[in-house]
């Protein structure tokens, strides 16, 4: 726990993710990443110098087999308010639109509804469970399939809603999170989505795994490259301060 907390705090500090009085909505899908995020932020909240509050939000996608009762019990133990927002995302994506590549539309709908719910609850920030491997895979997806250098930002301000999106798990590897979720016995909810594990992201994940075997340290180099690239928002604040001081 302590090692993971130190990495989360370092990420939060490097990118100025938390400020005094923040009300943070944690997007909790029921997967290992979002549950680990919730658990770690709840622990960080106990000693972080800037006081902040947490609210957990789950979007009910419309799959009858998904049971969030254990997630609700976890939130109760952590003393975190928990809201389940019913949606028709499954019906829209698979029944009405019958999307051939459903992930993009699904993600867009989820982002919109989550942000809407966060605003309704009076939150000013939304924490998402994207981690180290997600960032590398997103960068590779954009480069290979779209021919551009792009990746989500560690911190993103949304003008239309006034929300700030933060990603405190960016220094944590997926394997580390999976082990943590297992050790903590986090109540991971099975994802029944028919498109799960059959996406371009999974192809990229496999490709990066193969390349990492041939070129050890490849992922670290890519992540380090992101932090030193001209991509907006990726340079840690401490590095930016050093560069500004050197240029003066």
In this predicted structure, the answer to whether residue 195 has a pLDDT above a threshold of 90 is no
**pTM, two decimal places:** 0.91
Helix/strand/coil for 119: helix
Rounded CA-CA distance 3/193 in Å is: 33
Contact, 169 vs 17, CB < 8 A? no
Least confident of 124-128, 189-193, 226-230: 189-193
pLDDT of residue 244: 45
CATH topology of domain 2-243: Rossmann fold (3.40.50)
In this predicted structure, the answer to whether residue 207 has a pLDDT above a threshold of 70 is yes
Q: What is 202-221 written as a DSSP string? A: HHHHHHHHHHHHHSTTHHHH
Rounded CA-CA distance 226/231 in Å is: 7
Please state the rounded mean pLDDT for residues 59-63: 84
Highest-scoring range by mean pLDDT, 70-74, 98-102, 109-113 = 70-74
Contact, 11 vs 50, CB < 8 A? no
DSSP secondary structure code for residue 84 in this structure: E
Please state the rounded mean pLDDT for residues 187-192: 88
Please state the rounded mean pLDDT for residues 134-150: 93
Residue 66 pLDDT class (50, 70, 90 cuts): confident
User: Pairing mode, if any, of strands 52-60 and 22-27?
Assistant: parallel
Please state the rounded mean pLDDT for residues 66-73: 94
Please state the rounded mean pLDDT for residues 1-7: 93
pLDDT of residue 245: 44
In this predicted structure, the answer to whether residue 30 has a pLDDT above a threshold of 70 is yes
pLDDT of residue 200: 84
Tell me what percent of the residues of the chain surpass a pLDDT of 70: 93
In this predicted structure, the answer to whether residue 101 has a pLDDT above a threshold of 90 is no
Rounded CA-CA distance 40/48 in Å is: 12
In this predicted structure, the answer to whether residue 100 has a pLDDT above a threshold of 80 is no
Contact, 24 vs 41, CB < 8 A? yes
């Amino acid at each position: 726990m302590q090692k993971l907390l130190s990495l989360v705090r370092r990420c939060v500090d490097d990118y100025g993710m938390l400020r005094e009085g923040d009300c943070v909505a944690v997007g909790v899908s029921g997967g290992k990443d979002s549950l680990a995020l919730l658990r770690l932020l709840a622990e960080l909240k106990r000693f972080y110098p800037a006081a902040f509050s947490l609210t957990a939000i789950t979007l009910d996608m419309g799959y009858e087999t998904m049971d969030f009762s254990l997630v609700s019990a976890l939130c109760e133990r952590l003393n975190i308010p928990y809201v389940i927002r019913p949606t028709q995302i499954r019906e829209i994506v698979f029944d009405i639109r019958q999307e051939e590549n459903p992930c993009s539309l699904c993600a867009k709908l989820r982002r919109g509804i989550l942000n809407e719910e966060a605003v309704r609850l009076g939150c000013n920030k939304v924490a998402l469970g994207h981690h180290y491997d997600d960032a590398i895979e997103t960068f590779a997806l954009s480069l290979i399939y779209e021919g551009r250098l792009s990746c989500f930002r560690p911190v993103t301000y949304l003008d239309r809603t006034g929300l700030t999106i933060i990603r405190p798990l960016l220094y944590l590897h997926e394997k580390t999170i999976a082990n943590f979720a297992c050790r903590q016995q986090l109540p991971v909810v099975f994802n029944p989505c028919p498109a799960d594990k059959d996406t371009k992201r999974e192809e990229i994940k496999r490709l990066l795994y193969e390349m990492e075997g041939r070129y050890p340290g490849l992922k670290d180099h890519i992540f380090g490259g992101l932090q030193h690239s001209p991509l907006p928002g990726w340079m840690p604040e401490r590095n930016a301060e050093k560069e500004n001081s050197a240029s003066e």
